[in-house]
């Protein structure tokens, strides 16, 4: 189970980081996509940094409560991305990427919960 956790978590982390970097550096394609969804450009670096911090919190084992919040934040991000793409009429071929990310986040979270003893 631990091996599966690290494989899924590694894939999830890579996907989230690869989506965060263009946001942080305000890459022209990220700006275009963000504006297409109806969001202001100034929000891009905030979202990108939040994704990076979320991935760090998921990978860092010291603070389990922070890890729980990070999983929630990453899930909210990709659910919002999927909803935004569908709201502006994007085809499912574009909106599928947030669903893939959500599947990886949920897989990582449930594997984390199954390999970690409950502290509650």
**Residues 62-78: pLDDT tens digits?**
888 999 999 999 999 99
Helix (H, G, I), strand (E, B) or coil at 9: helix
pTM: 0.92
Residue 7 pLDDT greater than 90, yes or no: yes
* Two structure tokens written together for 39: 């969001």
What pLDDT, on the 0 to 100 scale, is given for residue 61?
A: 83
Bigger pLDDT: 119 vs 52: 52
Tokens for 17?
Answer: 């980081």
The pLDDT of residue 117 is 76
Place 120 in a pLDDT band, splitting at 50, 70 and 90: low
pLDDT at residue 76, as a whole number: 98
Over pLDDT 90: what percentage of the chain? 89
Q: Residue 77 is inside which H or E element, if any?
A: helix 64-87
pLDDT higher than threshold 70 for residue 2: yes
Burial class (CB in 10 A: 0-12, 13-18, 19+), 103: middle
The pLDDT score that the predictor gives to residue 62 is: 86
Give me the pLDDT at residue 57, please: 96
Residue in the structure block whose two tokens are 């978590």: 9
In this predicted structure, the answer to whether residue 17 has a pLDDT above a threshold of 60 is yes
């Amino acid at each position: 189970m631990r091996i599966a956790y690290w494989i899924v978590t590694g894939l999830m982390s890579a996907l989230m980081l690869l989506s965060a970097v263009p946001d942080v550096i305000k890459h022209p394609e990220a700006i275009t996509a963000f504006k297409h969804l109806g969001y202001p450009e100034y929000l891009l670096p905030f979202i990108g940094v939040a994704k990076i911090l979320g991935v760090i919190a998921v990978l860092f084992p010291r603070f389990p409560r922070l890890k729980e919040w990070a999983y929630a934040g990453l899930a909210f991000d990709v659910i919002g991305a999927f909803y935004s793409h569908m709201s502006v009429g994007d085809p499912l071929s574009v909106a599928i990427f947030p669903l893939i990310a959500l599947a990886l986040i949920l897989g990582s979270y449930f594997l984390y919960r199954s390999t970690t003893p409950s502290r509650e």
